Structure 1
């Protein structure tokens, strides 16, 4: 393989915060990015070379994107997998991860069946098409997490159900065919950011995720668990990669139970919110790794630099309004903090508007002290929406 810079131009379907950070990571490598997104002046547009305004299933917009780039990828599961495949073939472009993988992952039931068939540990689950199916699942599993098969994100489309009398309301809340998964009484949620390159696989250390109201609030590195659990999480993540085709970064969410066992919650075929810590906390970020992987370039190091905590900056307003973050000096004046603003024009309740990363003193620390997590929360909570 011969790599030269300036390098190729990468087309990205999706121009949200992930597209923005992909473009930021691509630039030092000599790679330019063009994004396709339906929102004019999307978050990625200020840092990408160009934006094509079009829906995620718009054939003409896809063809315009393909005509201007050397390779294709995506940063959102709403990308039309079949259209990606067709356009890549028409313009003789590589598209990674494989659209077949996108099709498998975007339907949570299909995803879980593929993992189970491959022997990857997953919580017991079953298909649910209506309220009667849900009541049957409750009888089989007890408490369940009802998940919309497609379209759910940030906890949306997930409804915990314990009472058969709530079945109709729960089905209405997810809005269509769903999957019921036995409710896992987990000790913690972990995530492994795994990278599949050209003939090589690398994994970042497992992070520990802290959720509230089904939304990720903080990710802690290294996870506050045992070395044995870390090793098992890495092993399972690598097994997951064997079920997927195509190159790129995959966010793999895992449950750790009180006995140390690991099962897979969900997979994202792209960089993941729980991997944002890698920008300051690892040798090469998940975004740089994704660019390298989809282009078939050698992968970078996934070594942890130092203990790291990422805290999401979520909308704290009661009603949507223009986005303006105040008291930013609280983050800028902190020597251990790094602020990332996503460039979204409108702030809404609990919408992810940015994130804050706080780093510790060195990679030799075996565990992240609780005060590093408290530090990240304090700096994050000092920020206000004006």
Structure 2
């Protein structure tokens, strides 16, 4: 455990998007410096905030090692990198990486992730690795149509997975997801559920902090809103929190982790996916909790004592604001959003807007969840980005 922060302390992020940006803000608040390694050619949100920015490839070991040597600790913004590369970067640079390559290796693709949590006794959604038409047909016979086909690596926000209703669609989806090019493809059964839930857990050598169980509202595989605490019974909330802590322990994670669950019509809580980083479902914690997921991300990887996850008001809601145009980014019609008491608009600083791209979010906190949820949806309806 650390009890001091030298002014020259530098946190390095692999990835330069909004998750790194919001984490970097907390690092700056604690007096740290920030470096960022981006695998994209375009200007990314964190790159405007620090002079220590490098662009390159996650497969270029020399560049990655050189970057790591400039940092006191490295952490992740996404999962688009291999645990083997992370291990080599850590071992050859001497810079610690959190979550550790060993932890990351246990969840670095969807197949390994399912197996890791299943082996830990955590209930997961039914799945199977498929590599032929017979296996896809067999999964449909066993679990029913429709079901999901998922790329084992790299999927997010509706990318990397497709719903298939029959064999013709399954064959097309298998090819479009890269199955015919050697990528592992998972079939995953649809489950009858009433709510999609999420829990964030911060963990390091000082202990762990578990955030409230929230509900994620999805449209077309993209989270459009979050409600915290989730509008389910306290028993279900506690069950999800307990499973999230067990999942973090199963990978011996150090950092911030998010775990997504289905609450089935039969009352089961099934772990669906995890993320070894801050997560969209936890954005509400910036204003909604005593210490946000981003603050505890920095605290966790730096070995600092973790902050409280207690809510600042009885209820919080978050609305994702997606790109409405393909154009240079500009946030329009924001007056109502920024004028509302206890309302907070976060624009990510992306230069280019694209339809459906996560460009900003809006959080509203208050005493009555239904009331603030309706209000937040209403005052964000006309925002154009």
* TM-score tier after normalising by the smaller chain length: over 0.9
Q: TM-score, normalised by structure 2?
A: 0.94
Structure 1 residue aligned with 2:324, among 310, 316, 326? Answer: 316
Match of 2:369 in 1: 369
Summarize the alignment of residues 103-122 of structure 1 with structure 2, pairs less than 5 Å apart: 103-122=105-124
Q: TM-score, normalised by structure 1?
A: 0.94
Q: CA deviation at 1:61?
A: 2.4
CA distance in 2, matches of 1:11, 1:272: 18
Q: Which moved more, 1:220-229 or 1:234-243?
A: 234-243
Q: SS state of the match for residue 20, structure 2?
A: helix
Runs of 4+ in 1 over 3 A off after TM superposition: none
Structure 2 residue aligned with 1:158, among 157, 161, 164? Answer: 161
Summarize the alignment of residues 37-76 of structure 1 with structure 2, pairs less than 5 Å apart: 37-38=38-39, 39-76=41-78
Q: Which moved more, 1:71-80 or 1:221-230?
A: 71-80
Structure 1 residue aligned with 2:239, among 219, 232, 237? Answer: 232
After superposition, give the CA deviation of every residue in 1:72-104 in whole Å (9 maximum; x if it has no partner).
Answer: 111110134222221212222211101133233
Q: Which moved more, 1:103-112 or 1:181-190?
A: 103-112
Q: SS state of the match for residue 245, structure 1?
A: coil
Match of 1:287 in 2: 294
Q: 1:329 to 1:27 in 2, by over 3 A?
A: same
Summarize the alignment of residues 315-334 of structure 1 with structure 2, pairs less than 5 Å apart: 315-317=323-325, 320-334=326-340
Unaligned runs of 5+ in 1: 362-367
After superposition, give the CA deviation of every residue in 1:230-283 in whole Å (9 maximum; x if it has no partner).
Answer: 111011111111211341011100111123210100000100000000000000
Q: SS state of the match for residue 107, structure 2?
A: helix
CA distance in 1, matches of 2:310, 2:143: 40
| Aligned-residue CA RMSD (Å) | 1.5
- Is the CA contact 2:200–2:211 (under 8 Å) kept in the aligned structure 1? yes
CA distance in 1, matches of 2:208, 2:12: 23
Summarize the alignment of residues 68-87 of structure 1 with structure 2, pairs less than 5 Å apart: 68-87=70-89
CA distance in 2, matches of 1:326, 1:201: 40
Q: CA deviation at 1:123?
A: 1.6
Aligned positions, number: 377
CA distance in 2, matches of 1:79, 1:170: 24
Unaligned runs of 5+ in 2: none
Match of 2:170 in 1: 167
Q: SS state of the match for residue 88, structure 2?
A: helix
Match of 2:353 in 1: 347
Q: CA deviation at 1:149?
A: 0.8
CA distance in 2, matches of 1:185, 1:70: 46
CA distance in 2, matches of 1:243, 1:330: 44
Match of 1:356 in 2: 362
Q: CA deviation at 1:49?
A: 4.7
After superposition, give the CA deviation of every residue in 1:95-117 in whole Å (9 maximum; x if it has no partner).
Answer: 11011332332310111011111
Match of 1:365 in 2: none
Q: Which moved more, 1:281-290 or 1:199-208?
A: 199-208
Summarize the alignment of residues 177-256 of structure 1 with structure 2, pairs less than 5 Å apart: 177-256=184-263
CA distance in 2, matches of 1:167, 1:275: 33
Q: Which moved more, 1:30-39 or 1:277-286?
A: 30-39
CA distance in 2, matches of 1:9, 1:281: 28
Q: CA deviation at 1:4?
A: 2.1
Match of 2:378 in 1: 378
Q: CA deviation at 1:189?
A: 0.4
